[in-house]
Amino acid sequence: SEDDFGKPKNAFIPCTLWLVESMYLAGRKERARKLFEDLLGHSNHLGLFSEDIDPYRKELLGNFPQTYTHMALINAAVMLSEASIKKPVCKIRLE
């Protein structure tokens, strides 16, 4: 929706991955996994992501490759994988 900067033209990929984690923690695990898997389908041919994605054209935009996007991707993947194996794998955090 529109804010002080106008209507957004693209989606910030780390926010989508934070949403995956939030949905998972809120008990919406299947929806979180589906959103994560859908996002994986928008990487480039090497499996890399930029910082933004055009939600209509599904084109990667902005800085490429983007480290904090990949850190958020790893964190979400670890969270989802822990659910499958029932034990902690590791915890990666940027502070």
Single-letter code of the amino acid located at 95: E
The model's pLDDT over 41-54, given as tens digits with 9 standing for 90+, comes to 999 999 999 999 99
The model's pLDDT over 62-84, given as tens digits with 9 standing for 90+, comes to 889 899 999 999 999 999 987 66
Taking residues 19-27, what's their average pLDDT? 94
CA trace torsion 57, 61, 67, 72 (10° rounding): -40
Which of 13, 25, 7 shows the shortest CA–CA distance to 70? 13
Distance between CA atoms of residues 39 and 32, nearest Å: 11
Q: Give the domain ranges of the chain.
A: 11-85
Taking residues 17-30, what's their average pLDDT? 94
Contacts of 10 (CB under 8 A, 6+ apart): 52, 53, 54, 55, 61, 62
Task: Name the more confident of 49 and 91.
Answer: 49
Task: Name the more confident of 93 and 48.
Answer: 48
